[in-house]
Structure 1
Amino acid sequence: MKFLKNSLLLTLIIVFTSCKPDYLKYTEQPDYITQPNEKLKPYFEAYDASLKLWDIPVEELYIPTSFGTAHVVVSGPTNGEPLVLLHGMNASSTMWYPNAKALSNAHRLFAIDFILEPGKSFKTGTFDDVEQIAIWYNEIFDKLKLKEFTLVGASRGGWISMKIALQNQERIKKMVLLSPAQTFIWIRPSTDLLKNIIALFSSEEKQIEQSLKSMSSNVGNIDKTYLNQYYKSEANDSINKFFFDMKPFSKRDFQSLKMPVLVLIGDDDVINNSKTIQMAKTLIPKGQGEIIEKAGHFLTVDQADMVNTKIIEFLNTDKTQ
């Protein structure tokens, strides 16, 4: 009997300490999650299935902001250094499934669903300009009480990471940009881009298929569970009004960055090329850059182990010196 009581007590302690006390108020699921409409229900089911691919314990937070509810997936040791993850376009936080387990060994992960795209965040307010996107993320950081953290952004998440960094550099310890879109250079004309344009006149399924082929060097390597969610997110998505406000940052912007920055791109990246890496190394005072072989724009999937290793080495640099 004493053993059972101790076991029960231990279980209760684990339950109530797994999430910081300040976060417990954000764990209650809002109505749009518990009672989704017919359009959102299948997408949320697909999202939940993809989230299981992380293969680690996760907590889901629903944080109220001025623009709506922010959905944040949290994992990793509670005493680990905070690592904020910003996903690529239409990908949602579940896109980190090939990376979350490795990155969460020594870090506390906070993956945020962008409120203007498919995911579990829910917009109720209006964004008047692109500057308010960074303001929205900073609201979340305040609610999570993240005073200093490393920021990792993929594709459009990389562009947003730069925007956030330029608004409040003191908050960001380090930054990792994974094939950042429209951040260093304009998206260049290419055969893949032309194929995507031609595919616009095809069926929706063909459009998505062509898009994936141009973004990944090995589409067959993408988990089918995640692909199911990705297809549903494409069906729910509409290009938000700030898409065309994504312009490469200025030389002065890059030179103003104070934190160490790592930039990784694939050798078959439709968005970036070697010029991106050259700019990262020469313009950013503490900039590093590398091209990952046999990887496309989706390098976090195409070469997950290599990307994980590079990020972890970068995060641990100051610890080994």
Structure 2
Amino acid sequence: MQNLFLKALMLFLLVSCAATKEKDYVFKSRKHKKAYINSYNKSLQLWDVPYQEEDIQTSFGKAHVITAGPKDGPPLVLLHGMDATSTMWFPNIRALSKNHRTYAIDYLNEAGKSQSREKSLSKEETVQWYNEIFDHYKLRKLDIVGASRGGWMATLLAIQPNSKISRLVLLSPAQTFKGVDKAGKASSALLLKIFPSKKKLDKTLETFSFYPEKISPVYKTQFFLANKQAKSSSSFLQMQPFSDEDLQKITIPVLVLIGDHDVINAEESLTRAQKYLPDCKTKTLKDAGHFLSIDQSEAVNKTIVDFLK
């Protein structure tokens, strides 16, 4: 079932990317982009802390970064999940930015405010892109919290020689320790991407969240528009579980959290993390799905803050 899911996703993404001819590699039209950005701005108002938005020029395009927290606080980078953007941190940002200077980065080549000059980036280019952002802010040592696809990206950064990362927090990281656990159920996200509708949105949120009613209607709208009005990114095709050798390169402290109703990860993920990461803590949160940062935001926030201390 998992192989069938990945093959279907690969075919859809390749067809979608092949149809892209215009300079904007993400949105289907200027009208769609304007509507999405308006929705993004409304979701960002859910952040209940002061924040600043900045655009950083890099070799691969514009990186959009949202900063919050004390300017002299230790740096904490936030990497969001696929199609989620940095606005997804609205249930967590107050706790995470209380003592840390947070840097929430929108990923390139999908709905958000970052803007790429290329249709896609290789893994090596992705690492370079993030490091250019870190260098811009003069971040020598930093902690990272990565959710879902952001967890995979954070792990990719952590296995690099001379990594700047001091501590790593992975919230149900996708394709990191194993493939999709319940590919059949997770395929609702693929169907939402191919045939976007409010009904399929509800189905996807019910699959990925234990408490979909906790998701702000404002954010739901943004997430829906990301699937309806933006083209698909092929970045997911690069994401394969890391080898034993790669995982063993990560000697820094790592925290891995998953939900007990997670469709992406299961206990097998935690077992592999504990086996190959020399300094690893794991935890399964009760009554939480893949969107555990929303389902159990208080527990997630406390666990992360305690770990970062």
Corresponding residue for residue 23 of structure 2: none
Other-structure match for 1:19: none
TM-score by length of 2: 0.86
**TM-score for the superposition, normalised by structure 1:** 0.83
Q: Which residue of 2 aligns with 1:4?
A: none
Query: What secondary structure does 1:38 align onto?
Result: helix
Show the counterpart of 1:119.
112
Q: For the Cα contact (< 8 Å) 1:221–1:302, is it kept in 2?
A: yes
Does the CA contact (< 8 Å) of 1:154 and 1:177 recur in 2? yes
1:82-118, Cα deviation, whole Å (9 max, x unpaired)? 0000000000000000000011110000000001111
Pairwise mapping of residues 91-110 of structure 1 onto structure 2 (< 5 A)? Answer: 91-110=84-103
Cα 1:198–1:102, aligned 2, differ >3 Å: closer, same or farther? closer
Contact 2:196 2:227 in 1 (8 A): no
Q: How far apart are the structure 1 equivalents of 2:304 and 2:195?
A: 38
Measure, in 2, the Cα distance between the counterparts of 1:128 and 1:226.
Answer: 27
1:62 is the counterpart of 2:62: no
SS of match in other structure, 1:53? coil
Mark the CA change 1:172 to 1:298 in structure 2 (over 3 Å): closer, same or farther: same
Alignment gaps of 5+ in structure 1: 1-35, 317-321
Residue deviations 1:197-221 (CA, integer Å, cap 9, x gap): 6778865333222211111011111
Residues 1:200 and 1:126: Cα distance change in structure 2 (over 3 Å):
closer
Q: Could you tell me which residue of structure 2 aligns to residue 51 of structure 1? A: 44
Amino acid at match of 2:268: K
For 1:167, what is the secondary structure of its paired residue? coil
Q: Runs of 4+ in structure 1 displaced over 3 angstroms?
A: 125-128, 193-203
2:7 counterpart residue number: none
Deviations 1:213-257 (A, max 9, x none): 111011111011111111111123333223212100011111111
Mapping 1:209-220, distance limit 5 Å:
209-220=202-213
The aligned residue for residue 224 of structure 2 is 231
3-state SS of 2:62 partner? strand
| 1:298 is the counterpart of 2:291 | yes
Is residue 2:190 matched to residue 1:192?
no
Identity %: 42
SS at match of 2:159: helix
CA–CA separation in structure 2 for the residues paired with 1:274 and 1:120: 35
1:81 aligns with 2:74: yes
Q: Secondary structure at the match of 2:170?
A: strand
Secondary structure of the 1:109 match is strand
User: Number of aligned pairs?
Assistant: 281
**Greater RCO, CA 8 A, separation 6+:** 2
Deviates more, 1:166-175 or 1:113-122: 166-175
Q: 2:254 aligns with which of 242, 257, 261?
A: 261
Aligned-residue Cα RMSD (Å) equals 1.9
Output the CA distance in 2 between the equivalents of 1:299 and 1:256. Answer: 27
Over 3 Å counting, the alpha-carbon distance change for 1:38 and 1:126 in structure 2 is closer
Q: Tell me the CA shift for residue 134 of structure 1.
A: 1.5
**2:236 matched to 1:249?**
no
Match of residue 179 from structure 1: 172
User: Aligned to 2:107, what secondary structure does the other structure show?
Assistant: coil
Contact conserved, 2:63 with 2:114, CA < 8 A, in 1?
A: yes
Inter-partner Cα distance in structure 2 for 1:38 and 1:198: 24
- The residue that corresponds to 1:207 in the other structure is 200
